[in-house]
Amino acid sequence: MSGPTVPEGPCRPSRLSRERVAAPIRDRTGRRKQIGASLSVVGVVLALAACGSSSTKAPTAANPLQLITPGTLTVSIEPYMPYVGEQNGKLTGLDGEIITQAAKNLGLKIKIVTSDFPGQLAAVQSHRVDVAIGSVTWTAERAGVGLFTDPTYYSPEVMIEHKGSDYTNISQLVGKPVGTIVSYSEIPALQAIPGATLHTYPSAANMYSDITDGRIVAGFADALINIYVAQHEPQLDLVSHTLDPITAQQLAQHPAYKNVEPELEAFYIPKQEPALEKALNGQIDKFYKNGTEAKMLQQWGADPKIWLHAPSYAAAERIGVDRPKGWIAPSGS
């Protein structure tokens, strides 16, 4: 049978915030080749950062947000729908809509720079763009060589299954065949499920076909993509379910389950532009409070009650790294 029409693009660095990875090594599709941190990669990232401007210019009347080009927000993307894309010279996708609205509110034009994901990180760290967007996960190492906004949303683990299935808890997968994509960081968690058989695939399309054919019962890939396929590929008879939160007891028994906890997604900004970070934080806070963020999530199939709910560790992860003591992670109602 022919495979599903899956939005092309790389998987974002899933569950990295607890793994302390600075810049994941990726193949040409952007997927991580290694799960552990690589010292050589850290060195490359720091070297790239050193190549850019190391000084931070104070805001001026002509350039209050410390942008590379006053009045224009230079945005780095890797086309990766439904997270971000470019259509007729404008940004689309969830992250694309969020940054577009923020730029409009701040009176800024947008200049789009297309890259691959490692190129996005390098462009921020060497101060060649103002911001990188598109499901960029917060990590301590990245925060050490760049700035992160407050979380734009918290990306949960979304399983995709055959219609009629109702797997929502990782404990329901004990002894079952499950799948994910080669080198995705969900792998340690799936390997830790007692008695489960893990199948890895070169692409999401292959995984979806095996779910349809009954070879595996649940597949793990990027949340919005699983939601998109379940909603827009009816011939596959698939449904998506958000994974129940991992309990403290489950995590104590299986520490690798941390790899399927929600991610802290944000916009990534050069160290030289703290005024821009502050301005975007103000917009993100406004979007949480006035319903803009919830509306955008709903348009892309995500449940705001889940995607805007800060997990218990959200503040603890960043306090002492790039947020002061007492910082409260934004959270929707």
Give tens-digit pLDDT for 254-290.
Answer: 999 999 999 999 999 999 999 999 999 999 999 999 9
pLDDT reported for residue 22: 28
Average pLDDT over residues 200-224: 96
Residues whose CB is less than 8 angstroms from the CB of residue 9 and which lie 6 or more positions away in sequence, other chains included? 29, 30, 78, 79, 80, 81, 83
Residue 55's pLDDT band, with cuts at 50, 70 and 90, is: low
103-110 long-range CB contacts below 8 Å, 24 or more apart?
A: 103/73, 105/283, 105/286, 106/65, 106/73, 106/279, 106/283, 107/71, 108/65, 108/67, 108/71, 108/72, 108/73, 109/71, 109/72, 109/73, 110/72, 110/73, 110/75
Residues whose CB is less than 8 angstroms from the CB of residue 290 and which lie 6 or more positions away in sequence, other chains included? none
pLDDT over 90 (residue 75):
yes
Residue with tokens 């609205």: 101
Closest listed residue to residue 287, CA positions, set 53, 95, 144, 11: 95
pLDDT reported for residue 9: 42
Structural domains of the chain, with CATH: 38-155+265-318 (3.40.190.10), 158-260 (3.40.190.10)
Closest listed residue to residue 169, CA positions, set 60, 234, 247: 247
Residue type, 329: A
Here the tokens at position 135 are 């499901």
Here the tokens at position 319 are 């306090």
pLDDT reported for residue 183: 85
Residues of the chain above pLDDT 70, percent: 83
Q: What are phi and psi of 155, to 5 degrees?
A: -80, 115
Here the tokens at position 93 are 């996708």
Q: Which helix (H) or strand (E) holds 114?
A: strand 109-114
The pTM of this model reads: 0.83
**pLDDT single digits (tens) 102-154:** 999 999 999 999 999 999 999 999 999 999 999 999 999 999 999 999 999 99
pLDDT reported for residue 54: 52
CA distance 324 to 308: 21
In Å, what is the CA distance from 233 to each residue of 2, 204, 228, 236, 238? 12, 13, 8, 6, 8
CA distance 27 to 121: 15
